[in-house]
């Protein structure tokens, strides 16, 4: 065993170069044993490259790194025996069962046969996979596959585990379960280094390093990173959002405005002094104000503002001219552009989508939410005419998409999860190709290319290949190609999965602008703060539409009980104690706090305090807070989870 005074991970001047590109430059880190340490950064910041060097999968160009006191170059073989690694694209064998995958990785690690059964039993219980041990990996949901990949990484009982964006692309319920498992590592003394694009996850870590262009620009506890942020934050709820953002972006006393959920956050020097000035400025520009109030910064505030720079003004998404050259107008808002009636799709006896009905109006941002495998993508494929329904109908702009899809394709845009870009064509060549496919004339194409380049911030990048762009820039290019023909309805299927927070903010500013101009936006997403952007939401579960309404309606009308937020000295232990108590039906980690659904927060507060203090956990506060969208999502999903799950059936 390694002495406890030797750090789990230590780097000094660590570098990785690819030609003239410095992927990692002069990295100095020290991670203590038993820490959960996070790497957070934009696409291309160097997070994955750093993890690969620490896992001995890539040699450094300069500098040194050690794991448990062992040099990553000279003692790589010894290190591999004592670490676990789960990449973003984890390696499971799809045709093997859960148990067979564990057996394979156990043999790969040369674990004695008499020890394998005991370790399998512990891991299946720990990761809650025991009921599915005989199910093939390819028939597990995305969240279960992640948990199985984690179990395979733990089969040899590593002392340090590296997780590269482990929860990207899985729904909030699966993310919550995954992080319950990770917090269990603390009691086992395992050191965890994890990279993530989710800033609410980073709130859980003991310490966080912000990476930018291969360097660590800040490293501290989440709390200290937030308190070090210059200035104060005003949270603004107002409409129309694009006009509010544009107005604030031009105010000399405001930093760059950023969209956070359904609110705008802006940094000012003095929130009390600037609040009336902000209100007066917005009212003068015809913006309707719901509320302006000072708020404490989140870690995402600190990250986005540090990267964007509080003083750097960017082109704001104010009202642009549309493709015809006419000023943007809010016309025909009551017109229904998408009408879904009893839409059903069966695969054999399995109903992937089961009698779903809803309407979407012009200029509306409509969000479709649901756990992995709930039927969201199947629904969007039927609405866009890519998949024929078993029964029911989907009408877009009045045309039945099962029979007349060709009539409206020129008025639609569809951006899939995979960003349908041609990697062997440049940015400009991709736009030329899509413009040609949509039948644009040469003059129309030139005008619309200029509009897309300006709107998406791609000017100057016309000659680059998609592979040379970061994830955020690829996303903007894909959106640009999707809307180059000026569609009336745009379908976006999980467009921001795995994209860093700064790029997601910019992307949503574009979506807000397009909707403001009258374009219908239909989007699926796993990010609950993104769901707050939508005018209305539909929640799918096991193929059925189980909730429909505005974010405010769902948060106030569809959730039972009240929400208590618990702040304590040991969130991992507090989570364990509260989850084991039958009085609390929903217990979830939110950052470094715990959300507990109770019948009455006033009555529950002393009960929760007494329970935790009896378990040697100090309680700093138990207070009632409004339900967030993620609370609603988890609550509604759990409400519909009464059906038994077959351990050998189709996808869970």
The reply to whether 351 and 298 lie within a common domain is: no
The reply to whether 156 and 248 lie within a common domain is: no
Q: CB atoms < 10 A from the CB of 157, how many?
A: 15
Q: How far apart are CA 369 and CA 361, in angstroms?
A: 18
The reply to whether 480 and 542 lie within a common domain is: yes
The reply to whether 302 and 195 lie within a common domain is: no
Q: How far apart are CA 509 and CA 504, in angstroms?
A: 9
Tokens of 262: 């359904």
Tokens of 252: 């000399």
pLDDT value of position 463: 92
The reply to whether 533 and 567 lie within a common domain is: no
Which CATH number covers residue 281?
A: 3.30.70.100
Tell me the residue ranges of DSSP E strands in 348-474. Answer: 350-361, 365-369, 391-396, 399-400, 412-415
Q: Is 649 domain-assigned?
A: no
The reply to whether 289 and 416 lie within a common domain is: no
Q: Is 369 domain-assigned?
A: yes
The dihedrals phi and psi of 491, each to the nearest 5 degrees, come to -110, 125
Q: How far apart are CA 372 and CA 146, in angstroms?
A: 12
> What is the DSSP track for 203-257?
TTSSEEEEEETTEEEEEE-HHHHHHTSSSEEEEEEEESHHHHHHHHHH-TT----
Pairing label, strands 489-493, 520-524? parallel
Pairing label, strands 9-18, 21-31? antiparallel
Which CATH number covers residue 451?
A: 3.40.50.300
Tell me the residue ranges of DSSP E strands in 550-601. Answer: 562-568, 586-590, 593-598
Q: Is 638 domain-assigned?
A: no
pLDDT value of position 320: 41
Q: Among the three residues 222, 249, 275, which one is the final residue of a domain in this structure?
A: 222
Element (H, E) at 195: strand 191-195
450, 480 Cβ separation under 8 angstroms: no
pLDDT value of position 146: 85
Tokens of 367: 């969000």
251, 278 Cβ separation under 8 angstroms: yes
The reply to whether 194 and 122 lie within a common domain is: yes
Alpha-helical runs (H) found in 12-141 = 47-54, 76-80, 98-108, 113-126
Instruction: Pick the closest to residue 369 from 173, 588, 643 (CA basis).
Output: 173
Q: Is 456 domain-assigned?
A: yes
pLDDT value of position 425: 92
The reply to whether 537 and 598 lie within a common domain is: no
Q: How far apart are CA 588 and CA 575, in angstroms?
A: 8
The model's pTM is 0.78
25-36 burial code (b ≥16 CB/10 A, e <16): bebebebbbbbb
The reply to whether 565 and 549 lie within a common domain is: no
Instruction: Pick the closest to residue 363 from 503, 488, 456 (CA basis).
Output: 488
How far apart, in Å, are the Cα atoms of 544 and each of 99, 144, 318, 382, 396? 31, 21, 38, 15, 21
Domain of 621, in residue numbers: 560-626
Which CATH number covers residue 567?
A: 3.30.70
DSSP at 553: H
The reply to whether 96 and 80 lie within a common domain is: yes
pLDDT value of position 2: 60
The reply to whether 121 and 16 lie within a common domain is: yes
Tell me the residue ranges of DSSP E strands in 474-550. Answer: 489-493, 520-524, 536-541, 544-549
Q: Is 316 domain-assigned?
A: no
Instruction: Pick the closest to residue 333 from 359, 358, 364, 287 (CA basis).
Output: 364
588, 176 Cβ separation under 8 angstroms: yes
Q: At what angle do helices 142-154 and 98-108 cross, to 10 degrees?
A: 30
Sheet holding 207-212, edge to edge: 83-86, 160-164, 191-195, 36-41, 207-212, 215-220
Q: Is 315 domain-assigned?
A: no
258, 264 Cβ separation under 8 angstroms: yes
Q: How far apart are CA 417 and CA 414, in angstroms?
A: 10
Q: Among the three residues 554, 589, 604, which one is the final residue of a domain in this structure?
A: 554
The dihedrals phi and psi of 9, each to the nearest 5 degrees, come to -135, 135
Q: How far apart are CA 149 and CA 594, in angstroms?
A: 26
Q: Is 641 domain-assigned?
A: no
pLDDT value of position 327: 34
Which three-class secondary structure state does DSSP give residue 559?
Answer: coil
DSSP at 312: -
Q: Is 511 domain-assigned?
A: yes
The reply to whether 181 and 264 lie within a common domain is: no
Q: At what angle do helices 172-188 and 142-154 cross, to 10 degrees?
A: 20
Residue 360 β-bridge partners: 338
Q: Among the three residues 200, 222, 244, which one is the final residue of a domain in this structure?
A: 222
Pairing label, strands 207-212, 232-239? unpaired
> What is the DSSP track for 327-348?
BP----TT-EEEEEEEEEEEET
Q: How far apart are CA 278 and CA 284, in angstroms?
A: 10
Q: What's the structural domain count of the chain?
A: 4
283, 247 Cβ separation under 8 angstroms: no
pLDDT value of position 330: 44
Helix and strand element counts for the chain (H, E):
22, 28
Instruction: Pick the closest to residue 155 from 67, 96, 81, 87 (CA basis).
Output: 81
Mean pLDDT by 10 residues, the chain (652 residues): 80 93 93 92 86 96 96 96 86 91 91 88 84 90 84 90 85 78 78 86 87 91 86 89 88 83 83 94 93 86 73 41 38 80 94 96 92 86 94 95 89 80 90 91 92 82 85 80 91 79 77 87 84 89 92 86 90 88 83 86 94 94 87 81 45 41
Q: CB atoms < 10 A from the CB of 540, how many?
A: 24
Residue 207 β-bridge partners: 37
101, 139 Cβ separation under 8 angstroms: no
Sheet holding 520-524, edge to edge: 412-415, 489-493, 520-524, 365-369, 536-541, 544-549
Q: CB atoms < 10 A from the CB of 133, how many?
A: 18
């Amino acid at each position: 065993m390694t002495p406890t005074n030797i750090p789990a991970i230590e780097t000094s001047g660590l570098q990785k170069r690819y030609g003239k590109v410095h992927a990692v430059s002069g990295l100095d880190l020290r991670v203590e044993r038993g820490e959960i340490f996070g790497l957070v950064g934009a696409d291309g910041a160097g997070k994955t490259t750093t993890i690969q060097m620490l896992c001995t999968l890539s040699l450094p160009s300069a500098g040194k790194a050690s794991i448990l006191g062992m040099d990553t170059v000279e003692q790589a073989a010894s290190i591999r025996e004592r670490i676990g690694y789960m990449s973003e694209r984890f390696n499971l064998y799809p045709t093997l069962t859960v148990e067979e995958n564990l057996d394979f990785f156990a043999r790969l690690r040369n674990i004695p046969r008499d020890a394998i059964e005991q370790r399998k039993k512990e891991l299946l219980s720990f990761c809650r996979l025991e009921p599915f041990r005989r199910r093939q990996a390819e028939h597990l949901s995305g969240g279960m596959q992640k948990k199985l990949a984690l179990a395979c990484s733990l089969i040899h009982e590593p002392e340090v585990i590296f997780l590269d964006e482990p929860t990207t692309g899985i729904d909030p319920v699966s993310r919550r379960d995954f992080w319950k498992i990770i917090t269990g590592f603390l009691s086992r003394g395992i050191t965890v280094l994890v990279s993530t694009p989710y800033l609410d996850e980073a709130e859980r870590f003991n310490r966080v390093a912000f990476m930018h262009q291969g360097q660590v620009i800040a490293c501290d506890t989440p709390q200290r990173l937030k308190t070090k942020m210059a200035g104060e934050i005003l949270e603004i709820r107002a409409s129309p959002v694009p006009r509010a953002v544009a107005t604030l972006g031009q105010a000399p006393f405001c930093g760059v405005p950023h969209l956070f959920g359904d609110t705008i956050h802006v940094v000012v020097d003095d929130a009390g002094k600037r609040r009336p000035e902000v209100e007066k400025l917005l009212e003068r520009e015809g913006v309707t104000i719901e509320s302006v109030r000072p708020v404490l910064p989140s870690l995402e505030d600190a990250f986005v503002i540090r990267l964007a720079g509080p003083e750097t003004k960017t082109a704001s998404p104010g009202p642009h001219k549309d493709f015809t050259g006419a000023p943007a107008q809010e016309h025909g808002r009551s017109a229904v552009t998408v009408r879904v009636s009893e839409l059903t799709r069966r695969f054999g006896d399995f109903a992937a989508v089961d009698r779903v009905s809803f309407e979407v109006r012009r200029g509306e941002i409509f969000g479709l939410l649901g756990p992995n495998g709930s039927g969201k993508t199947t629904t969007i494929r039927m609405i866009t005419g890519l998949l024929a329904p078993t029964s029911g109908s989907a009408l877009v702009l009045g045309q039945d998409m099962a029979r007349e899809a060709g009539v409206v394709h020129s008025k639609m845009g569809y951006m899939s999860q995979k960003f349908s870009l041609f990697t062997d064509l440049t940015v400009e060549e991709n736009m030329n190709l899509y413009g040609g496919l949509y039948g644009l004339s040469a003059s129309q194409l030139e005008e619309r290319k200029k509009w897309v380049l300006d709107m998406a911030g791609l000017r100057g990048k016309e000659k680059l290949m998609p592979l040379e762009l970061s994830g955020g820039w690829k996303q903007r290019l894909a959106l640009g190609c999707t809307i180059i023909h000026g569609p009336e309805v745009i379908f976006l299927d999980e467009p921001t999965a795995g994209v860093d927070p700064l790029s997601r903010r910019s992307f949503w500013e574009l979506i807000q602008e397009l909707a403001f101009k009258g374009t219908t936006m239909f989007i699926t997403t796993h990010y609950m703060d993104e769901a707050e952007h939508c005018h209305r939401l539909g929640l799918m579960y096991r193929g059925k539409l189980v909730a429909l309404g505005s974010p405010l309606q769902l948060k106030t009308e569809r959730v039972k009980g009240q929400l208590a937020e618990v702040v304590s000295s040991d969130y991992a232990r507090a989570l364990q104690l509260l989850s084991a108590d039958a009085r609390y039906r929903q217990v979830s980690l939110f950052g470094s706090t715990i959300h507990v659904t109770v019948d009455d927060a006033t009555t529950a507060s002393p009960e929760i305090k007494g329970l935790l203090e009896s378990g040697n956990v100090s309680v700093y506060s138990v207070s009632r807070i409004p339900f967030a969208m993620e609370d609603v999502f988890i609550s509604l999903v759990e409400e519909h989870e009464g059906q038994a799950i077959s351990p050998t059936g189709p996808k869970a």
